Amino acid sequence: MRAVAYAPGRVELLGNHTDYNQGVVLAAAIDRGLRVSGEPRHDGRIALRSASLGQFAIDFGDLRPQRQPTWVNYPLGVVRELVEAGIPVEGFSAEIEGNLPSGCGLSSSAALEVATAFFLLQLFEAELAPMQIAKLCQRVEHRFVGVQSGLLDQVTSIFGRAEHAVFFDARSEEVRAIPFPPGLALIIAESGSKRELAAGIYNQRREETRAAAATLGLAALRDISPNELAERDLPPLLRRRAAHIAGENDRVERALTLLGQKDAPGFGRLMNESHESSRANFENSTGQLDQLVELARDLPGVFGARLTGGGFGGATVTLCESAAAPQVADELGRAYARRSGVHSRIFVCRLSDGAEVLAQ
């Protein structure tokens, strides 16, 4: 038997670092992703192959996190979590391919986890509910990779819907598809600086937001509004972190109304506010990301721009008129190259459907 599965990357639109603070997020699956295909084997081995990442093999009974190459920890972690969930997974060979760049904030790691999970469930004829798969893949990040990430990336990769944003409430686990206004495009621009969340900065921000909530006597920063926060005492660093999370939750709620009204300029202003908060309050932007955002906002047809994903490098997302998108992408790339010396990969993306098992 042969199995094939695909999972898309995602772009975060609003709700930066809110998911692990029990908050709300707006994101979207994009038309770039990863495909995992292969067949079972009967020698007790797992063999992984990627044209861009290399090859790796390990005995099934020797599953453990690898120092090098680190990319294999995502599929290996999925194997271990499936086994611990009682799914009868055995040895297999798999090939990984796709057009989703890694390390730039588009959740290539979550796409690899989700595609691997869908592939293995098909290969070994097992089933899990979509949210169970998302949580299983999140546990891979926590227990096999060492990043205490939220659930947004896996949820968006699984529940994405063409021409819709994904609204996710991390506390209630509500997922809703929100129609995205026609005539708009999203442009992804890589900064040239790759992210490395496992290096500890991401986990540090999680600890800072947890400390802010505890100091305020809250279960999570989801439970305070920007106005309420202004009336409370906090140390300066924790205040900035809390202000970012409270502001992002508020921006997501406002964005739902704006999307319903097809108000692209209003939505773009929220994206601009979000990036400024990332820069000043959460300090997860970089000089390169700031440059891309600044350059994008000056171009005709653009409504707003911000970093996307965890930050600390990676990529930006720009909202603009569909008709202007090709020219905006071209001009943004040339302007950024002149300013930074970096020839960035920039592309227009569509909001796409989520993960799926493909025909064999």
Give residue 129's pLDDT: 98
Instruction: Give the pLDDT confidence score for residue 198 in this predicted structure.
Output: 45
The pTM of this model reads: 0.93
| Predicted local distance difference test score (pLDDT) of residue 182 | 95
Spans in the chain with pLDDT lower than 70: 194-199, 360
Packing angle, helices 108-123 and 73-84, rounded to 10 = 50
CA distance 13 to 21: 17
pLDDT single digits (tens) 177-198: 999 999 999 999 999 876 555 4
Residues 232-285 pLDDT 10s = 999 999 999 999 999 999 999 999 999 999 999 999 999 999 999 999 999 999
Q: At 313, list the tokens.
A: 């490098």
- Check residue 149 and give its pLDDT: 83
Confidence (pLDDT) at 196: 57
The predicted-structure confidence for 56-81, as pLDDT tens digits, reads as follows 999 998 999 999 999 999 999 999 99
Please give the Cα distance from 259 to 10 (Å, whole number). 19
DSSP state of 189: E
Contacts 24+ apart (CB under 8 A), 318-323: 318/186, 318/187, 318/189, 319/184, 319/185, 319/186, 319/264, 319/267, 319/268, 319/271, 320/184, 320/185, 320/187, 321/183, 321/184, 321/185, 321/264, 322/183, 322/184, 322/185, 323/183
State how far the Cα of 234 lies from the Cα of 243, in Å rounded to an integer: 11
User: Which residue shows structure tokens 């994904």?
Assistant: 166
Domains of the chain in sequence order? 3-177 (3.30.230.10), 181-349 (3.30.70.890)
Q: Of 153, 169, 250, 298, which is the active-site residue?
A: 153
Which residues are CB-contacts of 189 (< 8 A; sequence separation ≥ 6)? 292, 296, 315, 316, 317, 318, 329, 332, 333, 336, 344, 345, 346
Note if 223 is an active site residue: no
pLDDT at residue 194 in the model: 65
Residues facing 125 on adjacent strands: none
- Distance (Å, rounded) from C-alpha 224 to C-alpha 59? 49
